[in-house]
Amino acid sequence: METAEIRRRWLSFFGERGHTVVPSAPLVHEDPNLLFVNAGMVPFKPYFLGQETPPFSRATSVQKCVRTLDIEEVGKTTRHGTFFQMNGNFSFGDYFKEGAIELAWELITRSQRDGGLGFDEKDLYASVYHEDDEAISLWKKVAGLSDDRIVRLGRKDNYWNMGVAGPGGPCSEILLDRGPQFGADRDWEAGDRYLEFWNLVFMQYELENVRSKEDFDIAGELPKRNIDTGMGLERVAYLLQGVDNIYETDEVFPVIAAAEDLTGRRYGADRDDDVRFRVVADHVRSSLMLIGDGVTPGNEGRGYVLRRLLRRAVRSMRLLGVDAPTLEHLLPVSKERMKASYPELERDFHRISQVAYGEEDAFRRTLAAGTTILDTAVASAKSSGRSTLGGAEAFALHDTYGFPIDLTLEMAAEQGVQVDETGFRALMAEQRDRAKADARAKKSGHGDTSVYRRVSDTLGREVEFTGYDQVVTDSRVRGLIRGGEVVERFGPGDEVELVLDRTPLYAESGGQLADHGRIRLSGGAVLEVTDVQRPIAGLVVHRATVLEGEGAVGEDAEAEVDVARRRSISRAHTATHMVHQALRDELGDTATQAGSENSPGRLRFDFRSQQAVPAGALGEIESRINGVLLDDLPVTADIMGIDDARKLGAMALFGEKYGERVRVVSIGDWSRELCIGTHTPRVGQIGVVKLLGESSIGSGVRRVEALVGVDAYTHLAREAAIVSQLTEVVGGRRDELPDRIAGILGRLRDAEKEIAAVKQAQVLGAAAGLVSSAREIAGVRFVSHDAGDGVSADELRALVLDVRTRLGNERPTLVSMASVSGGRPVVIVATNEQARQTGLQAGALVKVAAQALGGGGGGKPDLAQGGGTDPTQVSRALGVVEDQLRARGA
């Protein structure tokens, strides 16, 4: 039975029995404690915790899940996987133990012909919490299980809680006896004989003082008892499909089969290869599903997990012998298997594939550069008698070249060298701490937020923001912080953080920089505000310098905004909304915001895209924005319900959490976004927007920068002056300038090509003499040549291939050459077909040669290249290849 059919039967079975069929939630969840949804009950957590009232009394779902704790174990065992699907049925104060057991037993034992899963009753067992006599009697009553088929287990195995105070209760698992070939009789914990595939959680108690999974106190009965069950879809699939593990099921194995075709190797033939095949299959599917739910590769959080999965898949294919791009062959296979359950994958596959293929291309470049550097570092360690690569070296590979530590560990181990992982982790922690300290210094002035909590508690409510309508507001001083301590007074020259109960000054958020301004106290003190932040929710802190006078908590105050700065920032913020809308109009709805900064006269807008914006398209976007400026559309802000905002088409930021009431900023009927920032009343007040260009800032994320208003006019005037100067230098009219410069550059390129052609001809001119110098060693025609200094790798490769071609394919031929270019040695080895049939592999030979140069290399059996750091060892490197050849004939 195919996995999609098991899924369909599950939803149909419970749907027909009064359960609301709830679609799978996205893998990215609003819970800040979770990177991804990792269990089927996660979307229902607010109902179990009593935070929300469930809209149904019973529900069912097949939930997408990702768990990342055991990424390194994927492929090494047949149980560890990152993406999986969890079938669940849930009761919220409706049926309880008896109903859950009846439903489970009916579905799994009903014949497949009648819509069930068709498990044989004689092979099924149940485990229960050892004190749950009610569940034991129900298994006997409902399923007819005898005592010897009911297993009593303790809290570790059969009691569920969330890890914090709240609901919990005993659980009961359904196990399948797979037979004596999988383990000993009645051995419940060892081996794979008794396999649990469905867990029924009986949520009936309120727990408190939860110290661990097994150590907690039961406060009493819940007012409403609930049911939470989970059946692993992949696990049931491999049981029903007669295979041994999740990797061999119908949704996963086709990727392994495609990898077999690409590599020429066979799954099941080699243990190490099997691990790599399984890593590829698991990670390709997980990446497909994560990108489908909006995750893009990055260096932190969810993005880092996705990047790691994709790169491990690519790396595993390289270890299986394929150096060429492979995701373009594997990802579509996974999509074809998964689209039956998730049709949106077909619809969004263009976007998904572009993200994945772009990351593979980026990683291939990283791998090429990082491998050479790593090989050099390993060779250096070995030559100095060390068996460990230093933590600083591993950190440099990660920090400077983007080489992941897990690959450094794997590749160093392949060369028999360990890595000082402890030293690496320490340096990473130091870097992370510095980054956090910098962020805290900017946002709060110091790392201890408890001081803000104390001020907030005395305030008793959120600070009111009046800046949408006012630039001057009467207020009162409610809190003072100086040097990280709460104080009651301040004096001239003090640097303080001041809290008012009302303020017109905007605190930095949503990409908009903070207002500047002044605060005047009733006692005569004047403070200059240089920053405004929200260090904790509901609290606005004004960072200020006391220009004159003294003041104290409780004084009346007048807060005033620097209007010129506010207007300049507001123009930039409104222009940012316009850039966002114009990009979507030009590139499509996938060009969604990934970040922004609105500063005086300037904006920065980051958006998701796998490809650069063509220069012509950027011009169209700029033209469209300035055309709308001429229309002088009004900019309005309305507070409404989140559902109404969505109906109006208001854009929201991916990953942001919004309340039930939101602020919608509209530019006429042309653009609508959820936004809390300040804006110009009409777009005509912006004046002009000048896009400076766009660039990549990471895989799948690009950046547009622009000038706004007076800053844009100044920039255009400066550009006009530069054009005038260039026109004087090259002559002619302004409109002829591009053609004249293009002509000059074209002539320069032609001259460079002629010089390169002459140099190439000189190098290739040596080919005839090298052919005549071929020697016979161990039955192989062999040419070895030191091309000297100044011959590039490309030129050397052309010479090697020319000599190999001239020697023909009638007899085994091996060509080995080296040169030095830019102070770095390079070695290239080529074999013909006859030589390869005798076992001569260019890739293997070049690795040995490159080691002599203090580096590394690799390539295909017919042509391979290596390099190093020691140009004085070129003769030795060539000699090593000759020694390898002679050793064959010994």
Where helices occur in 529-611 by DSSP H, the ranges are 563-587
**Is 679 annotated in some ligand binding site?**
yes
Where helices occur in 16-79 by DSSP H, the ranges are 45-48
Looking at residue 57, its amino acid is S
Written as six digits, the tokens of 624 are 């469209």
Written as six digits, the tokens of 46 are 């607010």
E strand or H helix that includes residue 350? helix 349-383
The CA-atom distances, in angstroms, between 571 and each of 667, 685, 704 are 13, 7, 16
Phi-psi region of 164 (alpha: psi -120 to 50; beta: other; left: phi over 0): beta
Eight-class DSSP state of 139: I
How many Cβ atoms from other residues are within 10 Å of residue 243's Cβ?
A: 16
How many Cβ atoms from other residues are within 10 Å of residue 474's Cβ?
A: 13
Strand extents, DSSP E, 585-641: 593-599, 602-608, 635-641
Contact 74, 279 (CB under 8 A): yes
Contact 557, 519 (CB under 8 A): yes
Q: Residue 196 and residue 155: Cα distance in Å, rounded?
A: 16
Q: Residue 207 and residue 221: Cα distance in Å, rounded?
A: 9
E strand or H helix that includes residue 431? helix 421-443
Q: Name the residue among 683, 678, 664, 567 with its Cα closest to residue 625.
A: 683
Q: What sign results for the dihedral spanned by CA atoms 506, 507, 508, 511?
A: negative
**Is 577 annotated in some ligand binding site?**
yes
Q: Bridge-partner residues for 151, per DSSP?
A: 127
DSSP string, 664-703: EEEETTTEEEE--S---SBGGGG--EEEEEEEEEETTEEE
Q: Name the residue among 286, 336, 274, 275 with its Cα closest to residue 311.
A: 286
Contact 64, 9 (CB under 8 A): no
Contact 37, 294 (CB under 8 A): no
788 CB-near residues (< 8 Å, 6+ apart): 819, 820
- Please classify residue 402 by burial: count the beta carbons closer than 10 Å to its beta carbon, then call 0-12 exposed, 13-18 middle and 19+ buried: middle
- Please classify residue 486 by burial: count the beta carbons closer than 10 Å to its beta carbon, then call 0-12 exposed, 13-18 middle and 19+ buried: middle
Q: Name the residue among 252, 232, 219 with its Cα closest to residue 174.
A: 232
Vertex 596, ends 592 and 597: CA angle to 5°?
165
Eight-class DSSP state of 143: I
E strand or H helix that includes residue 20? strand 20-21
269 CB-near residues (< 8 Å, 6+ apart): none
577 CB-near residues (< 8 Å, 6+ apart): 665, 667, 671, 673, 675, 679
E strand or H helix that includes residue 752? helix 737-764
Phi, psi of 117 (to 5 degrees): -95, -15
N-terminal to C-terminal alpha carbon distance within the chain: 59
**Is 29 annotated in some ligand binding site?**
no
Secondary structure (3-state) at 149: helix
**Is 171 annotated in some ligand binding site?**
no
How many Cβ atoms from other residues are within 10 Å of residue 61's Cβ?
A: 25
Query: Looking up tokens 């919490």, which residue turns up?
Result: 129
Helices and strands (DSSP H and E) totals, the chain: 26, 35
Contact 326, 317 (CB under 8 A): yes
Which residues belong to the annotated binding site? 573, 577, 675, 679
Binding-site members for Zn(2+) are: 573, 577, 675, 679
